[in-house]
């Protein structure tokens, strides 16, 4: 009897200690949203105005981000959420990412806008949906566009093509890091964040004009990169 009671209470103790083990089912959901200085994106009237004073709308927005990951506060480990993600404003299915289960810890989010030089190689992603629309000709540097941002400006029949990419083989991709703390423990529910792009911030503070053809314009490509680094993207917690 005494032995049976000992076994019973030992089992009870083991079970009650189980909840202290690091087991959770927390996932991260990333939603992509786009605005122009806080206003909804206009595909019709030329209601947006950039730093250069040009009025425009947005008819096409496609871009690639890569190496999307969580970095621990101690910088001692990372959790890759997704290697490459293609966003197409015309395709709602591209507007979110669902991560795998994330281990307990305190993190920040980081991704690369575009593809780095090692990754951005012609025909590397032939089976991806973005291969046909985002390919960047070999004679201009090869690989893939980082972004296609297109629309009308000044009047309906004048089109701009803000296409960014590896002009002449130069790597114009850049890292985006966000200070928003992402804390996960056993009691954390799924977390949801919005990655917001302010389209107007591509065109300033380094003034970039709307033009039809900039793929081989190195100074403009560099200005777009710098503007991108200075704050095109913002991370907003939605559910935490």
> Could you give the CA distance from residue 154 to residue 211 in angstroms, rounded to a whole number?
11
**Cis omega before residue 40 (within 30°)?**
no
Which positions from 9 through 48 interact with another protein, judged by CB under 8 A?
A: none
Q: Out of 4, 14, 139, 239, which residue is the one contacting another protein (CB under 8 A)?
A: 139
Task: Tell me which residue of 89, 84, 81 sits closest to 35, measured CA to CA.
Answer: 89
Is residue 150 close enough to count as binding another protein by CB under 8 A?
A: yes
**Tokens standing for residue 35:** 């605005």
- Here's the x/- map for another protein, 87-106, by CB under 8 A: it reads as --------------------
Q: Out of 71, 140, 170, 226, which residue is the one contacting another protein (CB under 8 A)?
A: 140
2 burial type by CB count under 10 A (0-12 exposed, 13-18 middle, 19+ buried): exposed
> Could you give the CA distance from residue 38 to residue 16 in angstroms, rounded to a whole number?
50
Binding range to another protein, per CB under 8 A, among 64-72, 156-164, 171-179, 187-195: 156-164
Binding range to another protein, per CB under 8 A, among 104-112, 122-130, 176-184, 186-194: 122-130
CA dist 76 → 24, 72, 167, 186 (Å): 20, 6, 34, 20
CA dist 203 → 3, 38, 54, 56 (Å): 77, 15, 10, 12
Is residue 137 close enough to count as binding another protein by CB under 8 A?
A: yes
- Here's the x/- map for another protein, 175-214, by CB under 8 A: it reads as -------------------------------------xx-
Q: What are phi and psi of 234, to 5 degrees?
A: -135, 145
CB of 222 to another protein, least distance (A): 18
Query: How many of the other CB atoms lie within 10 Å of CB of 229?
Result: 13
106 secondary structure, DSSP code: E
**Tokens standing for residue 225:** 């990169």
CB of 212 to another protein, least distance (A): 4
CB of 135 to another protein, least distance (A): 5
Task: Write down how long the chain is.
Answer: 240
Q: Out of 4, 14, 17, 126, which residue is the one contacting another protein (CB under 8 A)?
A: 126
Is residue 111 close enough to count as binding another protein by CB under 8 A?
A: no
CB of 45 to another protein, least distance (A): 12
CB of 137 to another protein, least distance (A): 4
Q: Which is nearer to another protein, 69 or 148 (CB)?
A: 148
Q: How far apart are the first and last CA of the chain?
A: 50
Which residues are at the interface with another protein (CB under 8 A)? 59-60, 122-123, 126-127, 131-133, 135, 137-140, 150-152, 156-161, 212-213, 215-216
């Amino acid at each position: 009897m005494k032995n049976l009671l000992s076994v019973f209470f030992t089992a009870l103790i083991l079970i009650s200690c189980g909840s202290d083990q690091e087991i959770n089912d927390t996932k991260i959901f990333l939603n992509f949203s786009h605005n122009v200085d806080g206003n909804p994106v206009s595909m019709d009237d030329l209601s947006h105005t950039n730093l250069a004073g040009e009025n425009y709308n947005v008819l096409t927005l496609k871009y690639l981000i890569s190496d999307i990951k969580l970095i621990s506060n101690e910088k001692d480990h990372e959790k890759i959420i997704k290697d490459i993600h293609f966003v197409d404003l015309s395709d709602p299915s591209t507007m979110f990412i669902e991560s795998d289960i994330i281990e307990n810890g305190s993190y920040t989010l980081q991704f690369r806008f575009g593809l780095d030089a090692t990754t951005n190689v012609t025909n590397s992603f032939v089976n991806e949906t973005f291969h046909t629309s985002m390919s960047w000709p070999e004679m201009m540097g090869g690989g893939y566009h980082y972004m296609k941002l297109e629309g009308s400006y000044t009047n309906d029949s004048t089109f701009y093509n803000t296409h960014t990419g590896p002009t002449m083989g130069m790597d114009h991709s850049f890292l985006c890091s966000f200070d928003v703390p992402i804390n996960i423990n056993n009691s954390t529910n799924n977390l949801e964040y919005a990655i917001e792009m302010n389209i107007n911030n591509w065109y300033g503070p380094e003034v970039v004009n709307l033009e039809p053809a900039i793929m081989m314009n190195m100074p403009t490509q560099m200005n777009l990169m710098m503007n991108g680094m200075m704050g095109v993207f913002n991370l907003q917690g939605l559910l935490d």
